[in-house]
Amino acid sequence: MRIFIEKDYDAMSRRMAQIIAAEITHNPACVLGLATGSTPEGAYKYLVDWHKQGCLSFQDVLSVNLDEYVGLAPTHDQSYRYFMQSNLFDHVDIVPENTRVPDGLTKDPAAFCAEYDAYIRSLGYVDLQLLGIGRNGHIGFNEPGDCFVKETHVVDLAESTIDANARFFATRDDVPKQAISMGIGAIMGAKKVLLAASGAEKADAILGSICGAITPHCPGSILQLHPNVAVVVDEVAGSKLKAAGVSVCG
């Protein structure tokens, strides 16, 4: 596991973007597992800028997203499809048909989840999986629980997750209570994983994921078993790693 502690959010975002861009440059037809939220937003801005400068092409890239809220249409401004279009897809040359985001309006969630997993397997899993992490250690929307759920599934969101996401909605009551999330099996099947976090409120989750017991009560801890993980955090998110004496990359 390689750990990078950057001085601030912008430096963290640039490091994330460099890792993603290097993957695309090395393998122009790579499969990217993508995430949403405030953590990757800065990295996506760097990728868009480099594309506009003619340094990076997404023409042959395939993408699969981690998750989507149940009940939100792709056009809803808080849906994750909308986020991806607004922050990345609409600004680069990725082929629309090559992008996949879970369908929050599916009438048959079980069938959809099985099809999503089958599609990911058909790609040979993803080449680089981008992950944020929740304050409670969730990755994707795999919430803390008694077991790791392998398959893509419908998740009942934890109260802490709803609280954390309420800032994006008019009221807390407007936050969806469920989401479709890629399961731990697909995440761990990725050839490489890029885990990122920013802010002091993520410090405990990062420490637990990297140094704590491997337990479904901190879903991010499963990444300790993955052979190729890069962790990129800003100084405050990584503060407890430094205090614990964890080795970091220069």
> Do residues 23 and 54 make contact, with C-beta atoms less than 8 angstroms apart?
no
Contacts of 223 (CB under 8 A, 6+ apart): 1, 131, 139, 193, 195, 209, 210, 229
* Positions marked active-site: 67, 136, 138, 143
Residue among 107, 99, 128, 114 nearest 193 (CA): 128
> Do residues 176 and 210 make contact, with C-beta atoms less than 8 angstroms apart?
no
> Looking at the chain, which runs of residues are DSSP E strands?
2-6, 31-34, 62-65, 67-69, 99-100, 128-131, 153-156, 178-181, 192-197, 229-234
